[in-house]
Amino acid sequence: MEEKREPLSEMAIERKIQILRNKHMDSEVIALVKSDYEYGLTDDEIGLYLNKSYDIEQMKVLSKCLHKGVSEELLTLLKDSRMAAPKMQTALDYYEKGVPIDAIREVVQKDDTAVNMRRMFDVVLEKLNKAKEQMPQDLEYVKSLVAQMDEVVAKINHQNERYDALNKKLSEIETSKDDEEVRERLVKENQDKDALINSQQNELNKASSTIARLRDDIEKKDKKMKRMGDRIESLEDKIISVATENKKEAESKAEPQESQSVSQADKKMVDTVAVPQNMRLWQTGFRSIKFNQRRETDRKSLLMGVRFKNKTLPVDPGIEMPTF
């Protein structure tokens, strides 16, 4: 948006004009510049034609261009071409009638007279008018084409929507298929893990059962060993008892024989000979040693189930005898 121009005061305009007078500018130029300041043109705009070696007529045409607000492209074309004022005026007139800037540039570049320029611009205008007359028909045709294109675009958009929906559905199906495959794989993995866990649990149960059975066997063996130990102690007690009875019986049989032999010796001996007191003790100790040896032998025989002194000791059939 163009900024609002602030008009210069009369005093400010007079000071600017006085500067031009001091430079001995032509009075027509001073009058044009004063008129443009009063119209509201700025120093930069007036500077486009002032002090540029233009004649007064060229300055007036450029001033008109600034007053009419022509495009900067046309103003630059007229200013740089340095055409004569009539040519510049012809270009400005036909620009206002609607001749495109490209056609004006093409005519200006031919550097022809103002009359020939007018004729060329008339041809361009005639073509433009014909084009404008044809424009309504062409416009209707264009509108029909646009309507058809809109219809085609709408159909394409509809097809695109259908394709998008189809692609979405296919993606969902593909996703569900992938999910189903993942689910089946997970189910199979879980089944394999369950089978492995069941197998390991069965092995653990078998091991626990074996441990329990071995523990029971050990307890039974311990009980059997205890019963065997008790039975052996009982047998040893019986053996010791039998041996004690045999010892007493043997001692009771040995004492009369000794007494008898001592009496016969006393009768034969002329002189009384004193028998050492420790002789009996030695004989008793010798018999004790022999008895202990025989007792150990009889104990082994008894444990092997043989007869001892024509007597068979009872053996508990429920007790397993140890093997030596």
Compute the distance between CA of residue 186 and CA of residue 108 in angstroms, rounded to an integer.
85
pTM: 0.41
Residue carrying the six token digits 């031919």: 110
Residue carrying the six token digits 């007597």: 311
DSSP state of 110: T
- 174-184 mean pLDDT: 75
- 263-267 mean pLDDT: 50
Most confident of 45-59, 60-74, 221-235, 239-253: 60-74
Distant-in-sequence, close-in-space partners of 274: CB < 8 Å, separation ≥ 6? none
Residue 36, pLDDT > 90, answer: yes
| Digit-coded pLDDT (tens) for 189-205 | 878 888 888 888 888 88
Q: Which two tokens stand for residue 32?
A: 């044009």
Average pLDDT, the chain: 77
Compute the distance between CA of residue 52 and CA of residue 36 in angstroms, rounded to an integer.
17
Residue 315, pLDDT > 90, answer: no
Taking the CA atoms of 148, 152, 157 and 161 in sequence, report the sign of the dihedral they define.
positive
Q: Which two tokens stand for residue 252?
A: 């009771």
Compute the distance between CA of residue 78 and CA of residue 88 in angstroms, rounded to an integer.
6
pLDDT score recorded for residue 252: 85
Is the distance from CB of 48 to CB of 64 less than 8 angstroms? Answer: no
Q: Which two tokens stand for residue 44?
A: 């930069």
Is the distance from CB of 104 to CB of 91 less than 8 angstroms? Answer: yes
Greater model confidence, 256 or 229: 229
DSSP codes of every residue in 262-298:
HHHHHHH-SS--PPPTHHHHHHHHHHHHHHHHHHHHH
| Digit-coded pLDDT (tens) for 147-161 | 777 877 778 887 788
Residue 307, pLDDT > 60, answer: no
The H-or-E segment that residue 84 falls in is none
Is the distance from CB of 308 to CB of 298 less than 8 angstroms? Answer: yes
Compute the distance between CA of residue 316 and CA of residue 224 in angstroms, rounded to an integer.
13
DSSP codes of every residue in 156-200:
HHHHHHHHHHHHHHHHHHHHHHHHHHHHHHHHHHHHHHHHHHHHH
Compute the distance between CA of residue 204 and CA of residue 185 in angstroms, rounded to an integer.
28
Greater model confidence, 67 or 130: 67
Which of 243, 240, 261 is CA-nearest to residue 251? Answer: 243
- 198-215 mean pLDDT: 82
Compute the distance between CA of residue 119 and CA of residue 116 in angstroms, rounded to an integer.
5
b/e burial code for range 155-184 (CB count within 10 A of at least 16 → b): eeeeeeeeeeeeeeeeeeeeeeeeeeeeee
pLDDT score recorded for residue 84: 92
Greater model confidence, 157 or 292: 157
- 216: confidence class by pLDDT, cuts 50, 70, 90: confident
Q: At what angle do helices 56-68 and 85-97 cross, to 10 degrees?
A: 20
Q: Which two tokens stand for residue 256?
A: 């009369």
